[in-house]
Each structure stands twice: as structure tokens, then as C-alpha cells.
Structure 1
Amino acid sequence: MAQLIKLQDYASRYTADPYRYPSRFIRLKQQNWKRMKQAWDKYKQDGPESMDMEMKEYMFNGDIPETELELKQYYLNGLLPFQFKWASRTLTEMSFLDRYYEKDSTLIYFLQRYPDTFLFMYEPIFKIKKAPVETDHLLIHPQGIYCISYMDLPDTDKLIAGDDRTWYQENDRIRSRMLSPLISLKRSSRIVRSILHAYEIDFPVKQIVLAPNHLISFEYEPYQTEYIGMEEYEDWFHKMRTYSSPLKSIQLKAVSALLSYTQITSVRRPEWEDDSMDSFMHD
């Protein structure tokens, strides 16, 4: 499960301590998965009487997964509210979460399909010369930063890469013009590189047009750019999903630099609001 370290201009727990929270999330996720799996195994072996009512309601809310695969999906779904909480508040500040994001299929796709060591910024807003600038999604991989334009266009069979400014959508052999995703991707990568340069961080930055549901027709890929359409997606996704690496110090250094330039819109949290870490699934 990729970690949501920044959501637009929301306050983020990761901004408060970018070196601590990524590893803390991984540790808590593993500990609570082990606890849930043990409870599920005991339930499957010994039946409902093996768990007291409080534990049963906490672990499964009355809906017992039948297979381990269902259990894993149940667990990932249960982690989403926790991810949104960490991505919309610190210990002292909070942003008002737009409920749209809880059902945003693109956001959920990135959070649930990639490894824990992939750190994700969803449409982050940076403050550049005191002006807010919205960028494409940023995936901070242990080996580099991907600026991603995710494209899922209705009534479109094929995307045809044109020049830097114009692409084409094709459906039933009828073409229409569209703005090239490279426009925003180049702006995003320039901002990322300038921030890394300011902190003297040497970390690769790459541009990706990701369109799993469309064919992408192109003659060549521009420098440091990759087109991932329907034909390229499975191989690319398998390589990303099966990538195994711990968090890297330079990766966290890059995260810290990027977060320091992001815009934050928040209010002070109520002093009485509970921030207990006792229950990871409900924190």
C-alpha cells in the first residue's frame, strides 16, 4: 500500500516529520496485519466462540472474509480512513477532507496497488515565489521521482501522441484534439527539479503518461519520459508492484525537500480531539 504523504494543500502528518512517519506507517501496518491475520486464522479454525464480541466487532465489523485474499482487501480498505487522517491533519492542525477523495478511484488505485515504500503526493500544490502551483501526481520511488499524468478518458479507444502541445483522442476512428499531457508534466518536473537543486539533492526525475485503459500511439518518447498505455501497462505494473526495497535515505531527503515547499491550508485542531494510536485501523 503506497503511502499518501500529501493531498493537494492539506495538512499532512508527513510534513511534520518526513523522516519518521514513513517507517512508522510500515511498522504499524505490519503489526496490525499480523494481529488481524491471527484473529482470522483462529476464527476459521475454532469458530465464532474463539473471539470475544469486542474483538470480533473491531476486527471484522460482523463481516467475516472467507479467503485470505478477501481478508487482505478488507484490511487495505480499512486502512484508507487512516491514510486520509494522516494526510489531512498533524498533531495540532487539520484540513477539512473533501469526501470526494474517499471514493476517488484514481487515488485508491495508487494507494492500494503499490508497495509501502512508494510515497505518493496526489495533485500537490506548491508555493513557488509565493504563488500556488498545482502539479501532476508525484510518486517518490526509492530510486527516483515519477511525475505522473494519469489518463482515463471516457469514450476514447486510443491516444495519439503529437507534439509538445497537442495530442489526439480517437474513438471509432474519429479524432479530436486535446492538450498534450506533456505540458503539465514538464511544468511539474521543472518544479521538482528546482526544489531538489535548491537542496543539492541528486535524485532522478522522470515523466510518465499512464493510461492503462487506452492504447497510446507514438513514434518516440521524449527524453526522460515514458508512455504506459494498455499494451505496456501489464509489464510495467508487474515490475513496479513486485519491486522490493527498503526506504532510502535520499528518498526521504527528497520527500522532506518537496514537502517544505508545499502549500498548507488548515485550522487548529480541537484540543479535546482524540489522537490515540491504540487502534491503527481507527486512528
Structure 2
Amino acid sequence: MAQLIKLQDYASRYTADPYRYPSRFIRLKQQNWKRMKQVWDQYKQNGRDTMDEEMREYMFNGHIPESEQELKQYFLNGLLPFQFKWASRTLTEMSFLDRYYEKDSTLIYFLQRFPDTFLLMYEPIFKIKKAPVETDHLLIHPQGIYCISFVDIPDTDMLIAGDDRTWYQDSNQIRSRMLSPLVSLKRSSRIVRSILHAYEIDLPVKQIVLAPNHPILFEYEPYQTEYVGMEEYEGWFHKMRTFSSPLKSIQLKAVSALLSYTQITSVRRPEWEDDSMDSFMHD
């Protein structure tokens, strides 16, 4: 499960301590998965009568998954509210979460389909020369940073890559113009590279046009750019999903630098609000 380290201009637990929270999330996730899996295994082995009603309600909301795959999905779904909490508040500040994000299929796709060591900045807003600048999604990988434009246009059969300014969408052989995703991707990667340069961080930055539901017709890919359409998607996704690496110090250094330039809109948290970490799934 990729970690949501920044959501738009919200306060983020990761901003407060970018070196501590990524590894803490992984540790808490592993501990809670192990606990849930043990309870589920005991139930599958010994039957429903061995699990009292209170534990069933607390751990599984009354419904016990039938298969391990269903259990994993239940666990990942249960982590989403926790992810949103860390991505919208610190110990002292909080931002008002737009409930839209809780159902945002693109955001949930990124969070649930990639490894824990992939750190996601979703629709981040940077403050450059005191002016807010919106960028594409950033996926900070242990070996580099991906600026990602996710393209999914209803009723479009194919995307046709044109120049840096204009692409085309083909729907039932009717072609219409669209703004090239490279416009925002170039702006995003330029901002990322300038911040990395300021902190003397040597980490590759790559631009990705991600359109898993549409073929992309193109003659060539620009420098440091990858087009991932319907035909390229399975290979790209398998490579990303099976990538195995611990968090890297240079990766966390890049996260710290990038977060330091992001805009934050927040208010002070009520002093009486509970911030207990006793339960990862129910925090």
C-alpha cells in the first residue's frame, strides 16, 4: 500500500517528520496485518464458535472474510481512513478533508496497488516564489521520482500523442483536440528538479502519462517520458508492483525537500481531540 504523504494543500503528519513516519507506517501496518491474520486463521481452523461476538465486531465489523484475498482487501480498505487522517492533520494542526477523496477511485488505485515504500503526493500544491502552483501526482520511488498524469476520458477509444501542446482523442473515429498532458508534466518535473537541485539531491525524475483504459498512439516518447496506455499497462504495472526495496535515505531526503515547499492550509486542532495510537485500524 503506497503511503499518502501529501494531499493537495492539507496538513500532513509526514511534513512534521518525513524521516520518521514512512517507516512507522510500514511497521504499524505489518503488526496489524499479522494480528488480523492470526485471528482470521484461528477462526478458519476452529470455527465461528471460537471467536466471541465482541472480537468479531471489533476486528471484522460483524462480517468475516471468506478467503485470504478478501481478507487482504478488507484490511486495505480499513487502512484508508487512517491514511486520510495522517494526510490531513499533524499532532497540532488539521485540514478539513473533502469527502470526495474518500471515494476518489484514482487516489484509491494508487494507494492500494503499489508497495509500501512508494510515497505518494496527490495533487500537491507547491509554493514557488510565494505563489501556489498545482502539479501532477508525484510518486517518490526508492530509485526515482515519477511525475504522473492520469488520463481517463469517458467515451474515448484512443489517445493520439501530438506535440508538446496538443494531443487528440479519438471517439468512434471522430477526432478532437485536447491539451497535451505534457504541458503540466513538464511544469511539474521542472519544479521537482529545481527543488532537488537546491538541496543537492541526485535522484532521477521521470514523466509518465498513465492511461490504463485507453490505447496511446505515438511515434516516439520524449526524453525522460513514458507513455503507459492500455497495451503497455500490464507490463508496467507488474514491474512497479513487484519492485522490492526498503526505503532509501536519499528518497526520504527528497521527500523532506519537496514537502518543505508545499502549501499548507490548516487550523489548530482541538486540544481535547483524541489522537490515540492504541489501534492502527481504528485510530
TM-score (norm 1): 0.99
- Is 1:161–2:155 an aligned residue pair? no
In 1, Cα distance between equivalents of 2:17 and 2:50: 40
SS at match of 2:5: strand
In 2, Cα distance between equivalents of 1:110 and 1:76: 12
Aligned residue in 2 for 1:262: 262
Aligned residue in 2 for 1:56: 56
**Percent identity among equivalent residues?**
90
Q: 1:104 Cα shift? A: 0.2
| Residue-by-residue CA offset, 1:107-143 (whole Å, 9 max, x unaligned) | 0000000000000000000000000000000000000
Corresponding letter in the other structure for 1:98: D
In 2, Cα distance between equivalents of 1:270 and 1:59: 28
Q: 1:269 Cα shift? A: 0.4
- Is 1:277–2:269 an aligned residue pair? no
Report matched runs for 1:1-283 at 5 Å: 1-283=1-283
In 2, Cα distance between equivalents of 1:49 and 1:81: 30
Corresponding letter in the other structure for 2:250: I
In 2, Cα distance between equivalents of 1:147 and 1:138: 5
In 1, Cα distance between equivalents of 2:53 and 2:19: 38
5+ residue gaps, structure 2: none
Q: 1:43 Cα shift? A: 1.1
TM-score (norm 2): 0.99
SS at match of 1:282: coil
In 1, Cα distance between equivalents of 2:21 and 2:273: 20
In 2, Cα distance between equivalents of 1:224 and 1:22: 27
Answer with 53-62 or 33-42: which moved more: 53-62
5+ residue gaps, structure 1: none
In 1, Cα distance between equivalents of 2:48 and 2:234: 40
Aligned residues: 283
Corresponding letter in the other structure for 1:280: F
Q: 1:52 Cα shift? A: 2.9
| Residue-by-residue CA offset, 1:141-178 (whole Å, 9 max, x unaligned) | 00000000000100001000000000000011110000
SS at match of 1:280: coil
Contact 2:56 2:63 (8 Å CA) reproduced = no
Contact 2:161 2:218 (8 Å CA) reproduced = yes
SS at match of 2:148: strand
SS at match of 1:272: coil
In 1, Cα distance between equivalents of 2:44 and 2:59: 13
Q: 1:48 Cα shift? A: 2.4
Q: 1:51 Cα shift? A: 2.4
Give the CA RMSD over aligned residues: 0.6
Q: 1:263 Cα shift? A: 0.2
| Residue-by-residue CA offset, 1:203-248 (whole Å, 9 max, x unaligned) | 1000000000000000000000000000000000000000000000
Corresponding letter in the other structure for 2:137: H
SS at match of 2:281: helix
In 2, Cα distance between equivalents of 1:38 and 1:255: 34
Corresponding letter in the other structure for 2:95: S
